[in-house]
Structure formats: C-alpha cells, structure tokens
Structure 1
Amino acid sequence: MNQLFPIFVKLNQIDTLLVGGGKVALEKFQALISNDESLKLTIVTREIIPEFEELLQNYAQIQLNIRPFAPDDLTDKQLVIAATNNIELNEQLRNLTRQNNILFNAADKPELCDFYLGSIVKKGNLKIAISTNGKSPTIAKRVKELLNDLLPEEIDETLSLMSTYREQLRGDFEYKVKQLNEHTKNILRYER
C-alpha cells in the first residue's frame, strides 16, 4: 500500500546535503537545481566527475567539499541525499540522519529512504510530482512524458488568470471555493 504523503519543499529555505560526486549525484543535483536554482546546498564527496564539477561553477551559492563525509557535515541540515555506491556510508548516513531528525534519501535504496525524489512535470507554475512508491522510476518517467504531452502549454496563463480572479473574490472560504470550482470545472475537459 502506498502510504507516501506528497509535499513540495522550498529548497531555498532549508539546508540540504548531497553526498556523492558521480553520475547519480549529478542526476540528483540536476533534479534539485531544476526546481530551484537558489537552493541552499552543500555537496560532500571524495571525488567528483569533471562534468559535475564544471556544472557547479555556474552556482556560486553551492558549497562543494572534496573530502570524505564527516558527521559534522550534518550540522544544521534538514535534508540529506546520499548518491554513493558505498553501502557502509549510506547506512551510516541513515543512522545519523535518524538520530538527528533529518529527512534522508539514498539513491536506489528505497528501504533506507524517508522520502523519494519523484518524476516532475512542470508547466510554468504548475508542478505535478509522480511517485511509484519506489517501485519503478521508469514507469514514473513514462507517466511524466504522458502528462507533458497532455497538458496544454497555455496552462500557466490560465493559472495566472485564476490567481487574479481568486484575489478579486469576496466572501468566506466556502463561497470562494464554490466560485473557483464552478469557474474551473471545464478547464481540462477530456473524453473518457
């Protein structure tokens, strides 16, 4: 049973640690940076692949430490992502994050994770997260492709108009919800 609770995290308001410097770490970094270029991120890795190091030169706010992980690296962190193939290090990180109440993700190790990085569909201000409960990232990718094709490009313009309309509405919460529901019921019509 899928018991995941989807949330959207403001990466520029929390301190995140990424442990690793290989291709998987680069992939995780790209997922993070594509959602918020102003994220607060520290990277710790023994070594880093050249394309990752080169990409990081575009992000002055990101702190890169090329050295082994130390428990002090967790100080003031709220989110930790491990992208290493070091089983012992991943388990150490899991234990330390649990002791310090820090949310943890280990790439390709769902049993160690507090959260998963889902596939993301973005159309302007609309963002849809897709999860398969850690079972199949490939299926999540296919659903992402489907939604990208189905959602109209002008959805962001519609969102802006709805935001303006919502701000103009007067009345209590229930009235506003009723009006917004009525106004949006035909926006994404499709035939079944």
Structure 2
Amino acid sequence: MNTLFPIFVKAEKLHILIVGGGYVGLEKLTALLGNAPDTRTTLVAPEIRDEIRDIARQSPNVQLVEEPYTPAHLDDKDLVIVGTNDKAVNRQVQADCKARRILVNVADTPDLCDFYLSSVVKKGDLKIAISTNGKSPTFAKRFREVLEEILPDSLQETLDNLTAIRNQLKGDFVQKMEKLNEITKVLR
C-alpha cells in the first residue's frame, strides 16, 4: 500500500544540498533546476563531473564544493539529496540528516529515504508527479513519457481561462467552488 503524501515543494525558497558529483548527482541537479531554476543548491563531492561544472557556471545559485562530505555541509540546509556510489557515505549522510531533522533522499535506497523524487509531467503551469512508492523509477519515467505525449499543449490556455473565470466569480468560497466544478465537469 502506497502511504506517501504527495506535496509540491517551493524549492526556490529552500537551500538544497546534493551529495555526489557523478552521474546521479548530475541527474538530480538537472531535475531540480529543470523544475525550479533559481533554487539555491550546494553540491558537495570529492570529484565533480564536467557537466555539473557547466551547469554551475550557468546557474548563479549553484555552489560546488569539491571535497568529501562532512556533517558541517548540512549547516543551513533544508533538504538533502544523496547520490554517491559509496554506501557508507550515503548511510552517514542519512544518519546525520536524521539527527538534525532534515529530510533526505538517498538515491536507489528507498529504506533510507524520507521522500522520493517523482517523475514529472510538465505542460505549462500543469505539473503531474508520478510515484511508484520507490518500486520502479523506470516505470514512472515511461508513464511520464506516455502522459506527455497524450496531454495536449493547449492545456495552458485552459488553465489561463479557468483562472480568469475564477477571478471574476462572485460569492463565497463554496459558491465559487460549485461554479468551477460545474464548468470543469466536461473534463471527466
């Protein structure tokens, strides 16, 4: 049973630490900045891929720290994503985060995660997050591709029109919700 509680985080209001400068670190940094380009991000690793360096050069809010992880790297961080190929380092970061009550995701190790990173479908302002409860990120990725293909690009126009309608509605919250429910009934 999937008991995850889905939320969308305003990442640009957080300081996020990524531990790992290899392919997984690159993947997580790319996903983070693809959704929230202005997120304040620190990436720490003893070795950092050139692709990550290229991203950091183009992203003023990304700081690279080329050294091994220490607990001091958690200072002033709000969220941590770990993606090293060293299981001992991954476990240490997770334990340090737990001690400080910082939410942590350890790539490919669901038992060490407080949250999972979802596969995301984006169509303008619409975002759909897909989770398999850590069972199969590959399935989530493939399902995202299917949804991206079948959802029309005109969804942004629909969202904009609904926003304009909502802003013109009179009455209390319940009355507005009833009217919006009536208008969007065609989406079933």
| Structure-2-length-normalised TM-score | 0.97
Q: Is the 8 A contact 2:126 2:156 kept in 1?
A: yes
User: SS in structure 2 opposite 1:57?
Assistant: helix
2:53 matched to which residue of 1? Answer: 53
1:94 matched to which residue of 2? Answer: 94
Structure 1, unmatched stretches of 5+, are none
1:169 matched to which residue of 2? Answer: 169
1:138 matched to which residue of 2? Answer: 138
How many residue pairs get aligned? The number is 188
After superposition, residues 32-181 of structure 1 pair within 5 angstroms as 32-181=32-181
The offset of 1:164, in angstroms, is 1.2
User: SS in structure 1 opposite 2:12?
Assistant: coil
The offset of 1:127, in angstroms, is 0.2
CA distance in 1, matches of 2:138, 2:23: 17
Which amino acid letter does the alignment assign opposite residue 60 of structure 1?
P
The offset of 1:60, in angstroms, is 1.5
Which amino acid letter does the alignment assign opposite residue 164 of structure 1?
A
Q: Is the 8 A contact 2:56 2:63 kept in 1?
A: no
Q: Deviations over 1:28-58 (max 9, x none)?
A: 1111000011001111110011122122211
Q: Is the 8 A contact 2:38 2:61 kept in 1?
A: yes
CA distance in 2, matches of 1:113, 1:20: 16
1:21 matched to which residue of 2? Answer: 21
Q: Percent of pairs identical after alignment?
A: 50
CA distance in 2, matches of 1:161, 1:108: 41
Q: Is the 8 A contact 2:14 2:40 kept in 1?
A: yes
User: SS in structure 2 opposite 1:179?
Assistant: helix
CA distance in 2, matches of 1:33, 1:160: 24
CA distance in 2, matches of 1:167, 1:54: 42
CA distance in 1, matches of 2:146, 2:54: 32
Which amino acid letter does the alignment assign opposite residue 176 of structure 2?
K
Aligned residues: CA RMSD: 0.9
Q: Deviations over 1:65-84 (max 9, x none)?
A: 00111111111111000010
Q: Deviations over 1:103-131 (max 9, x none)?
A: 10011111100001110000000000000
The offset of 1:4, in angstroms, is 0.4
The offset of 1:138, in angstroms, is 1.2
